[in-house]
A = this chain, B = another copy of it.
């Protein structure tokens, strides 16, 4: 961290500030220029509140030069993280994973039928919502515990590992046999939940919040890492902008940015980002082309009657066509 002092900073003020910094366990390194005095801080600056320093009378500017995330930082962990699931499917380090399934689990028949379809098309993970975060308290909230049971039946039937969303740490016992626990966009900064997940040994799919920066996404991953669990898959699913032609704006450049600064695998969810099944195929193919480590797509056997988010689901036939294209494009793009 670098602190730039104002031109007119009085020596005794500077000394006081220096003492305060040492008191926080930091070494300082001063460099006096014609116009500015610059203080470099050495030590663990991750606890230092930049805004408090900036509020000091003598301070002109404060700049962080080290990222505040450590475990998730590629600088300290050069190799890509590779995560392997129960069926042997891998993600990260060159391995590509397709997750597919309905927004909500509805019936045994539905989930098993979709699971079979997506497996046949090449998906290696089954997604399905049991606990559904809905903007309205009057909307369908998911089958909850019952939904997880149905997912496990589909897993037993097809061998596909399952990913499903958790909304509160108190439901963790229900997730014992779930392969990947999803943290939804609205809970990306539910720090109590992240902390609890850090204490499990489950793979976590962490979705970026609608208004969260890429750095904040990594800080939330850091909450999980800090508890000892580094099996984290990051997911970009659209951010909130002024544009209303799509539900959210898919920030696909998050893929190369994240690959540069973290070793964790990155998945794209074009279904929630666009909110419109007509735009899902082109965005899914684009995600494969730009190097995403995985794609998560909503597939429903009867999108017209889906209890939620039907508008963004593909039919199994559409998904089958899309999956072929995804694999073909990825092969060329990664060659």
Measured CB to CB, the residues of A under 8 A from B are 2, 4, 29, 31, 33-36, 38, 40, 42, 46-47, 49, 51-52, 54-56, 60-61, 63, 65, 68, 133-140, 167-170, 186-187, 189-193, 195, 209-211, 213-216, 219, 222-223, 226, 239-247, 249-257, 260, 273-279, 282-283, 285-291, 303-304, 306, 308-312, 325, 328-329, 332-333
Q: Which residues of B contact A214 (CB under 8 A)?
A: 243, 245
Q: Which residues of B contact A308 (CB under 8 A)?
A: 49, 52
Assembled-state Cα–Cα distance A186/B51 (Å): 20
Q: Which residues of B contact A42 (CB under 8 A)?
A: 33-35
Do most interface residues of chain A lie in helix, strand or loop, or is the interface mixed?
Answer: mixed
Known interface pairs A241-B242, A246-B253, A282-B289; 15 further A-B residue pairs with C-beta atoms within 8 A, sorted by A's residue number: A31-B40, A36-B40, A46-B136, A46-B139, A49-B308, A51-B276, A52-B308, A52-B309, A52-B311, A55-B304, A134-B191, A167-B191, A252-B283, A253-B273, A256-B279
Candidate in A190, A216, A219 with the most chain B CB atoms within 10 angstroms: A190
Q: Contact check: which of B2, B191, B303 meets A2 at CB < 8 Å?
A: B2
Shortest distance from the beta carbon of A41 to any chain B beta carbon, whole Å: 10
Instruction: Name the residue on B nearest A191 (C-beta).
Output: B133
Is B51 a contact of A137 with CB atoms below 8 Å? no
Q: Which residues of B contact A309 (CB under 8 A)?
A: 49, 51-52
Q: Which residues of B contact A189 (CB under 8 A)?
A: 133, 135, 186
Assembled-state Cα–Cα distance A314/B133 (Å): 38
Is B219 a contact of A240 with CB atoms below 8 Å? no
Assembled-state Cα–Cα distance A6/B189 (Å): 32
Is B240 a contact of A256 with CB atoms below 8 Å? no
Q: Which residues of B contact A223 (CB under 8 A)?
A: 137
Q: Which residues of B contact A191 (CB under 8 A)?
A: 133-134, 137, 167, 186
Shortest distance from the beta carbon of A314 to any chain B beta carbon, whole Å: 11
Q: Contact check: which of B31, B219, B240, B254 meets A31 at CB < 8 Å?
A: B31
Shortest distance from the beta carbon of A323 to any chain B beta carbon, whole Å: 14
5 tightest A-B CB contacts, nearest first = A211-B211, A51-B311, A31-B31, A289-B289, A52-B310
Q: Contact check: which of B135, B169, B260 meets A219 at CB < 8 Å?
A: B135
Given contacts A46-B136, A68-B136, A191-B167, contact A2 B241 (CB under 8 A): no
Given contacts A285-B333, A291-B282, contact A304 B56 (CB under 8 A): yes
